[in-house]
Every structure is written in structure tokens, then in C-alpha cells.
Amino acid sequence: RNIERSLRDALAHDTLALHYQPMVDARNGCIVGAEALLRWQVDGHDVFVPDQFIPVAEDSGLIAELGEWVLRQACMQSRQWRQRQRAIPISVNVSPLQFRHERFYPQLDALMDAYDIGPGQLELELTERTMMAGGDATARLLQRIRQRGVRLSLDDFGTGYCSLSYLKHFPVDTLKIDRSFVHDVVVDADTAAITRAIVAMARSLGKTVVAEGVETAAQADFLHEAGCTLLQGFRYGAPMPAAELERWLAASA
């Protein structure tokens, strides 16, 4: 395929970049983390968006290489912020096939060593689909990753088939409430009730709760009041180049 050839080229020539979206403390708006989001741009314009090229990378087998590139960039950035600014945890998205690839854990382990990434400084965002597939082997791998000091985050929570009671079986540190819920909390009473229940249950299980896609003050107020500790969304900042996030970090140091 056309995208596949271009993607090989982009990997070889560094047309790819990670952008970073701030996660803020719901109490005071301070940056306490960032989600890395892959961008493929020329002159500031998207060539393709991740929803187009990640599936191509998965189908063509390029995902292991692309995934390693992403992890390496995130680890390099983490070390740089630790040395030059202040350490903030970085969350990296991992696609299902990337996660199941035999090279995944060895790559992760080696990169943690190479860039001297401490416990809690790296978090992986996985969807329910990724965590539910693969049975015991997946469960063991998830445990191993956490024992390595890497946090696990359940991404897009609420869009899959997971029942609330199943939450206790997922070995995750963080739960990210999908932006479709966040969008509706202030307009739909049922969504508000469900979201309150999700946050309360997650907190009672000792998990950090992040709301994604926060765009308005009303949403932020609702979520903060419901007990959500971290907020992420255009209200605080869109995904931005590392240099831009650095200016924020400098300003809030």
C-alpha cells in the first residue's frame, strides 16, 4: 500500500514526531503529566492522522518498529525533562498488536535501562480490548510491566464491554474516562450518574482517574466535584510539540 511505503520512509527520515498533551491536577490546573500522541506532519500539516496510519502499521508488521520508535522518543523526552526542567510522567499509547508482539517487553525493558527511567515516570495506555485478549499470557505480561515500574492506564474507559465489577480484575493504576462521557456529563443526567459511579468505584479500588476530552469549565467542575483527580483536554491544551510544553513547564515551575 501507498501509506505503508510512505510510513517506512517517514520512520527512516524522522518525519514523525511525538506531541504532548498536558494532564492537569483538577484542584489547581498544574501540569502533572503528559500524553504522547504520534504525529506525521510536513510543514505543520498532518500527512496522515494516527487513526489512518496505525492500522496500516499493524497490518503490515511495521507496528513493532513504529512502537519502539515511539517508546524511545518518549523515554528520551522523559530523561530530557528530568534533566532540564522537571520530571513529569509521560503516558504512551500502545496498540493491541504492538502489545502482543514478542519484542514488546524486551524493547520496553531495554529502553527503561538505556534512558534511566525511574518507577512511575512512564505509563502505558491500553484499551480494554488489548487487556482482555490473550488470556493468562496477557495477565502475566501486565504484571511484569508493572513490576518493572511502568504504570498501566486503561484508555477509553466506558466504550468497551467491560462491566464496572470487572474493574477489579484489571491490574491498572489509572482509568481514563472516555471523552464521549465527558462530553455528555453536563447535558445528560444519566451520563452524569454513570460517570459519578465510575469515578467512585475506581477511587474505591485505589485507582487514579483521568477524564479526557475536557473542553469546558462546566465539565471540569463536574468532574472535579465527582472526585476525578486529573483532567486532560482542549480546555487545558491540545497536543503540542515538546518545545511548547516545555514553555508551560518553565512557566509553572
Q: Using CB under 5 A as the criterion, which residues of the chain lie in contact with Na ion when the complex forms?
A: 155-156
Q: Judged by CB under 6 A, does residue 177 bind ligand G?
A: no
User: Interface mask (CB under 6 A) for ligand G, residues 86-105, using x and -?
Assistant: -------xxx--x-------
Q: Residue 167 CB, nearest distance to ligand G (Å)?
A: 18
Q: According to CB under 5 A, which residues from 141 to 160 bind Mn ion?
A: 155
Q: Interface with ligand G by CB under 6 A: which range of 77-85, 101-109, 158-166, 206-214?
A: 206-214
- The whole-angstrom separation of Cα 21 and Cα 242 is 9
Q: From residue 176, how far is each of 157, 186, 198, 206 by CA, in Å?
A: 6, 18, 10, 14
Query: Which of 31, 34, 56, 70 is in the footprint of ligand G by CB under 6 A?
Result: 70
**DSSP labels for 157-201?**
ETSSS--GGGGGGS--SEEEE-HHHHHHTTT-HHHHHHHHHHHHH
Residue reference for cell 518498529: 65
Q: Judged by CB under 5 A, does residue 125 bind Mn ion?
A: yes
Q: Residue 157 CB, nearest distance to Na ion (Å)?
A: 8
- The whole-angstrom separation of Cα 198 and Cα 217 is 20
Residue 29, SS3 per DSSP: coil
Classify burial at 169, counting beta carbons within 10 Å of its beta carbon; exposed 0-12, middle 13-18, buried 19 or more. exposed
Q: According to CB under 6 A, which residues from 26 to 45 bind ligand G?
A: 37-38
Q: Judged by CB under 5 A, does residue 178 bind Mn ion?
A: no
Residue 209, SS3 per DSSP: strand
Binding interface with ligand G (CB under 6 A): 21, 37-38, 49-51, 54, 70, 93-95, 98, 155-156, 179, 212-215, 233-234, 239
Binding interface with Mn ion (CB under 5 A): 93, 125, 155
